[in-house]
Amino acid sequence: MSTKDPMETMTMLSSNTRTKALHWLGKQLSNQSNPTSWLDPLLSEINPMWVQAYTPARVQQVIHETEDTKTFVLKPAGRWQGFQAGQHVNICTEVDGVRRTRTFSLSSSPRLWKAQGQITLTIKRLPGGLVTNWMHDHLEPGDVIGLGEAFGDFLIPDPARPVLYIAGGSGITPVLSQLETMAARDYNAPVTLLYFVRTENDVIAGEKLRALAARYPALTLKIVATNESPDPRFLTGSDLDDVPGLKARQVFLCGPKGLMDLANDLLAQRGIREDQIHSTFFAPPAPARLEGDTGGNVTFTNSDVQVSSEGDANLLEIAEAAGLTPQYGCRMGICHQCSCRKTSGTVINRLTGEVSGPGEENVQLCISVPQGPVSVDV
Amino acid sequence: MKKLNETQLQELEQDLNAIRDDVLADLGERDAQYIRRMVRLHRTLEIGGRVLMPFGFIPPVFVAATASLGVAKILENMEIGHNVMHGQYDWMNDPNLHSQTYEWDTVCSGDSWRRTHNYEHHTYTNIIAKDRDYGYAVLRLSDDEKWKPWHALQFINYVLLTVLFQWGVGLHELETEKLHRREIRWRDKLPFLKEFARKGGRQAFKDYVFFPLLTLPVAPIVLAGNIGANLIRNLWSSTVIFCGHFTQDAETFTEEECEGESKGHWYLRQLSGSSNFTGGRWLHILSGHLSYQIEHHVFPDLPAHRYPEISERVQAVCRKHGIHYNTGSFFRQYSTVLKRIGQYSLPDRMRLRLERANTPQAI
């Protein structure tokens, strides 16, 4: 970058200043911290792809993969920054008036995005899942959803090294993206995929995987249906021992918690070091625990403070006990002075006894009691 | 205030909670669409007003542009800003409609408003000396406050306050009366004054510098129109707000009777200290549904467009517990406000003699 000519640097600087000045002016005129979204309510009526608050993405096609899994082909607006194989994105959509954010792995290869501007999300219906069920039932070609920038460090090793993937169920999605990318660039090292599904009918992208294995000789594919026989057939030590040169492999795990725990144990027994193992969780949130079982580790992200709490202390009391001074007012759930953003974890509303979702949402600190680990922007 | 015992207060609390729970359980698409429609209408009116204003050298266009911008400001302040900042739409999880981050189109900063209005006024409603919204420290509106000679001229204060309302609200947190009594020092108020200067400066820059300069040849017209729009908003919003707590039958409370109060008692105080006015659908929308001040004070964080729907049920609860539900036409309620301002500008002896003279003698 040091070879940039000075004129170019100057232009960049001045355009940067100009952007800043415009942003400042926008804030003065619109009173919004994100002035570009001031017109969104009107723009979204004219063309939802013009919305500025997030990157809009239009659904172009919906592919039925299995009984409970669909692949959504999306075309994000031009300003989307792209991704690397194995990364995730947050999508946001509105379900019954409430904006919901969820994280999914991208299942297509970055090449598809570069060539045709398309990305795919392969999504399984979760039992009781608000957003996945809504997407399955309502999202159709032509609809628009919001997209965040890609993130995650579940990435193809560079330079190439031998790889073992152990995937379960819809945990195959980031692996699909990586395998396609590897095949296209002729990734020069052995690659093995052990793919566990409940029944033969639950195989996601089976044809695509077999076609990949056929045209990309470095790939060894083994699909195991765990529940086809009366005795479940889970991952075994011999599955791993069958993998040539196991000790030299980078291992990528993606699947339900049971499979990941089992794999971690078996790999440790075989002397695979932790730094060789890369995991990404996709499992549905654990069901809410019983009432009375409250307290947990609370992380106040903006203040970089972490404390543990027991019993039914609310987030406001916990924050204050930790020496923080979040905004508050009535302390009885009326005035919303203390409302702030919860980024993860479950809380119980002390007034209603209602248990929150695990995701990002606004909570009133003074009536929210943590249930397990919670992070809030305080 | 109607006296209720602990059991009755508990019952009142349960009755009102039941209404609240029903609305909460029903929140969804309809509410989201409603507030977004209001936001779209606001954007359209504001853009319309700003674009038309430079053509204000044609008198009817000037009137239309000023009205359009004035109504835009009213909608944004009353139905959108005030209600969003109460957390009425927090459940939508939309960062642009969130109580903690919303900033509105008026001099008072969102943060200052959340402290003085959401917390002080809504928690200590009509408690003399604790609710600083009662008379805004410039008007004497009950005999809890001792009469002083300058109160005789308080009608002038009222006119000034209503004309310059956004600046009055912006400076509310300065607590001049406490500075005057030396309970606090100017130094304590420096952070607030900085915030006031930043937000007040921003508003003045926008309406009185930026847009007039942008249309330089017609700058005086644009400046006049923007002043007019702000004036329309000031007069209307102060009038609506005065009708909420200063009408004839709106009660006041003492600190002692509210010490360690229960939620039921808080509900009772909200019901007895607030007053509604009646009118058509657009009168309610333009008042931010503060025409349903009683419902608003009982349920400040329920979406305001729901107040008309639950009003019947709130009235039924009031009847059941024998609590007066204070409502009347806009003009009737407003005239009692003006009367109250006038009455309490007089020394108590003179006021009482006049009241006696005006009350028909019982036979």
Spell out where A31-138 has E strands.
Answer: 55-66, 69-76, 88-95, 98-105, 119-124
What is the dihedral sign for C-alpha B335, B340, B343, B346? negative
Among B6, B3, B76, which Cα is nearest to B39's? B76
Asked if A272 and A182 sit in the same domain, the reply is yes
Report the alpha-carbon distance of residue A364 to residue A369 in Å, rounded.
10
**Domain final residue, candidates A102, A123, A147:** A147
Q: Name residues whose C-beta falls within 8 Å of residue A165's C-beta, 6 or more positions apart in sequence.
A: A175, A178, A179, A191, A192, A193, A194, A195, A251, A252, A254
Query: Across chain B, what does the average pLDDT equal?
Result: 95
Label residue B358 by pLDDT band (50, 70, 90): confident
Q: Which two tokens stand for residue B1?
A: 């205030």
Give me the mean pLDDT over the A266-295 stretch: 73
pLDDT score recorded for residue B361: 59
Q: Is B119 exposed, middle or buried (0-12, 13-18, 19+ CB in 10 A)?
A: buried
Q: Is the pLDDT of residue A285 over 50?
A: no
What is the rounded CA–CA span in Å between residue B304 and residue B18? 17
Q: Out of A29, A329, A339, whose CB is closest to B90?
A: A339
Q: What are phi and psi of A341, to 5 degrees?
A: -90, 125
Res. A1: pLDDT tops 50: no
Domain contains A1: no
What's A244's domain CATH number?
3.40.50.80
Q: What is the pLDDT of residues B267-287, one digit of tens each?
A: 999 999 999 999 999 999 999
Q: Which of A12-26, A203-217, A289-303, B88-102 has the lowest mean pLDDT?
A: A289-303
Give mean pLDDT, residues A3-17.
67
Residue B101: pLDDT band (50, 70, 90) is confident
Q: Could you tell me if A211 and A102 lie in one domain?
A: no
- Would you state the pLDDT for residue A336? 78
**A335 in contact with chain B, both atoms CB, cutoff 8 A:** yes
Return the number of other C-beta atoms located less than 10 Å from residue B206's C-beta. Answer: 17
Residues A11 and A105 in one domain: no
Phi/psi of residue A63, nearest 5 degrees: -110, 130
Residue with tokens 């730094």: A275
Domain shared by A46 and A27, yes or no = no
How many CB pairs below 8 A link A and B? 105
Kindly give, in sequence order, each residue whose CB lies less than 8 Å from that of residue A25, ignoring residues fewer than 6 positions away.
B210
Q: Which residues of A touch B202 (CB under 8 A)?
A: 28, 31
Label residues A330-366 b or e (16+ Cβ within 10 Å = b). bbebbbbbbbbbbeebbbbbbbeeebbbbbbbbbbbb
Q: Write the CATH number for A324.
A: 3.10.20.30
Q: Do B43 and A41 touch (CB under 8 A)?
A: yes
Cα Rg of chain B, angstroms: 21
- The dihedrals phi and psi of B206, each to the nearest 5 degrees, come to -65, -55
- Tokens (6 digits) for B81: 């800003």
Percent residues over pLDDT 70 in chain A: 93
pLDDT for A288 equals 36
Tokens standing for residue A4: 């940039």
Q: How far apart are the first and last CA of chain B?
A: 27
Q: Could you tell me which residue, A351 or B115, shows the higher pLDDT? A: B115
Q: pLDDT tens for residues A236-248?
A: 999 999 999 999 9
Question: A83-87, B136-140, B285-289: which range is least confident on average?
Answer: B136-140
Q: Are residues A42 and B40, on separate chains, in Cβ contact within 8 Å?
A: yes
Do A32 and A44 share a domain, yes or no?
no
- Average pLDDT, integer, range A221-236: 94
| Tally of domains within chain A | 4
Could you tell me if residue A250 is inside a domain? yes
Angle between helices B59-74 and B219-245 (to 10 degrees): 40
- Whether A98 is in a domain gets the answer yes
Instruction: Assess contact for A169 and A103: CB atoms under 8 A.
Output: no
Choose among A230, A108, A77: nearest CA to A180.
A108
Per-residue pLDDT at A45 exceeds 90: yes
Residues A185 and A267 in one domain: yes
Which chain B residues are within 8 Å of A37, Cβ to Cβ?
Answer: 96
Residue in A154, A152, A226, A212 with CA at minimum distance from that of residue A181: A212
Looking at the structure, tell me whether residues A51 and A132 fall in a common domain.
Answer: yes
pLDDT at A13: 67
Taking CB atoms and an 8 Å limit, are A335 and B123 in contact across chains?
A: yes
Could you tell me which of A237, A245, A241 has the C-alpha nearest to residue A266?
A237
How many residues make up chain B in this entry?
Answer: 363
In a domain, A290, yes or no: no
Cβ–Cβ contact A138 with B under 8 A: no
Q: What is the ipTM of this complex?
A: 0.88
- Structure confidence at residue A6 (pLDDT): 65
Q: Report pLDDT for B237.
A: 97
Instruction: Give the amino acid at A12.
Output: M
Picking from A123, A147, A171, the residue at the C-terminal end of a domain is A147
CB contact under 8 A, A327 and B114: yes
With cut-offs at 50, 70 and 90, classify the pLDDT of residue B217. Answer: very high
Q: What is the CATH number of the domain that holds A70?
A: 2.40.30.10
Is residue B145 predicted with pLDDT exceeding 80?
A: yes
Q: If pLDDT is split at 50, 70 and 90, which confidence band does A4 have?
A: low
Please report the pLDDT score of residue A283 as a whole number.
Answer: 46
Q: Assign A327 a pLDDT band (cuts: 50, 70, 90).
A: confident
Percent of chain B with pLDDT over 90: 91
Categorize the per-residue pLDDT at B326 as very low, low, confident or very high, splitting at 50, 70 and 90.
Answer: very high
> Is pLDDT at A163 greater than 50 in this prediction?
yes
**Phi, psi at A26, each rounded to 5°:** -60, -40
Query: Residue B172 in contact with residue B120, Cβ under 8 Å?
Result: no
- What's the gap between Cα B340 and its chain centre? 18
Q: Residues of A289-306 as b/e, b for ≥16 C-beta within 10 angstroms?
A: eeeeebbbebbbeebeee
Which chain A residue has the Cα nearest residue B33? A97
Comparing A11-15, A144-148, B245-249, which segment has the lowest mean pLDDT?
A11-15
Mean pLDDT of the region B198-217? 97
Q: Across-strand partners of A194?
A: A166, A222
Is the model more confident about A285 or about A197? A197
| Residue matched to tokens 């001040």 | B293
- What is the span of the domain harbouring residue A94? 40-147
In a domain, A25, yes or no: yes
Q: Is residue A288 part of a domain?
A: no
- The candidate with the shortest Cα–Cα distance to A164, out of A146, A177, A179, A149, is A179
B133 token code pair = 């919204």
C-beta atoms of A335 and B118 within 8 A:
yes
Q: Which of A64-68, A101-105, B86-90, B116-120 has the lowest mean pLDDT?
A: A101-105
What is the pLDDT, as a whole number, of residue A350?
83
Per-residue pLDDT band for A287 (boundaries 50, 70, 90) equals very low
Residue B33 in contact with partner chain A when CB distance is under 8 A: yes
Average pLDDT over residues A223-230: 93
A156 assigned to some structural domain: no
Judge if A20 and A49 occupy the same domain. Answer: no
Domain boundary among A119, A147, A175: A147
A96·B205 Cβ contact <8 A? no
Compute the average pLDDT of residues A37-44: 94
The answer to whether the CB atoms of B300 and A334 lie below 8 A apart is yes
pLDDT tens, residue by residue, B37-81: 999 999 999 999 999 999 999 999 999 999 999 999 999 999 999
Lowest mean pLDDT among A254-263, A283-292, B149-158: A283-292
Positive or negative: CA dihedral A164, A169, A171, A177? positive
Q: Do B119 and A32 touch (CB under 8 A)?
A: no
Up-side HSE of residue A268: CA atoms within 13 Å toward CB? 7
Provide the terminal-to-terminal Cα distance of chain A, rounded to the nearest Å.
38
Nearest to B101 among A33, A37, A330 (CB): A33
In a domain, A152, yes or no: no
A49 and A139: one domain? yes
SS3 of A263, please? helix
A331 in contact with B, Cβ within 8 Å:
no
**pLDDT score at B362:** 52
**A284 has pLDDT over 60:** no
Does A96 contact B at CB distance below 8 Å? yes
Is residue A229 pLDDT above 50, yes or no? yes
In this structure, are A73 and A169 located in the same domain?
Answer: no
- Nearest chain A residue to B301 by CA distance is A334
Q: Does B295 touch chain A (CB under 8 A)?
A: no
Residue range A219-229: mean pLDDT, rounded = 95
For residue A157, whether the previous peptide bond is cis, meaning omega lies within 30 degrees of 0, is: no
Mean pLDDT in residue range A135-162 = 94
Give the pLDDT mean for A181-205: 96
Bridge pairing between strands A98-105 and A88-95: antiparallel
pLDDT band at B316; cut points 50, 70, 90: very high
Contact A94 B86 (CB under 8 A): no
A180 and A277 part of one domain: yes
Task: Say if residue A3's pLDDT is above 60.
Answer: no
Residues A31 and A44 reside in one and the same domain: no
Q: What average pLDDT does this structure show over A346-373?
A: 89
| pLDDT class of A9 with cuts at 50, 70, 90 | low
